[in-house]
Copies of this chain bind each other. A is one copy, B any other.
Amino acid sequence: MNDPAKDLLAVNAAFYEAFENADFDSMRELWATDDGVVCVHPANRPIRGYQAVMRSWVALMASAPYIQFFLTDVEAVVVGELGSVTCTENVLSAGTDTPDVASFAGASAAATNVFRLTPEGWRLWIHHASPVLSSPDADPDEPTEGGAS
């Protein structure tokens, strides 16, 4: 019997692989194509609708010649035709403005990926990634900021 969470994790892995490889053709096949899709890149405002989200990926892929993701704390949940994968994105990247190819920047982001089961299989509906400032040893049940929700 097929495990829906396993299918979901495979699509989630394909998403990060497409970004790492700057494989725009794969990236656009992974998303639902409706106007309800939403993408929030770190420190940015929401981008809505398939066309606008795809434009943002073209821009990101063009600006990041090298990027690699090490996913930790990955959890997948399926409820009917709705699925989510949450994880920590540990990112290693080199930008176009990096003077020395041997110097890299590392960062961590919390990612929420929401998927819809479509006739074509699981498709990304929402991707929201945001920088994590708390220490890796902090208790995840205790938010470190009391500001916004």
Contacts and interface: CB of A to CB of B under 8 A. Distances in A.
Interface of A: 16, 19, 34-36, 38, 40-48, 52, 55-56, 59-60, 63-64, 67, 69, 73, 75, 77, 79-82, 84, 86-89, 91, 93, 95-96, 105, 107, 109-112, 114, 116, 125-134, 138, 140-149
A143 B56 contact: yes
Given A38-B112, A80-B81, A112-B126, A145 B86 contact: no
A42 B130 contact: yes
Number of copies: 2
A105 B43 contact: no
Contacts of A132: 43-45
Contacts of A59: 142-143
A95 B145 CA distance: 10
A64 B105 CA distance: 34
A36 B79 CA distance: 8
A127 B148 CA distance: 12
B110 A145 contact: no
Contacts of A138: 45
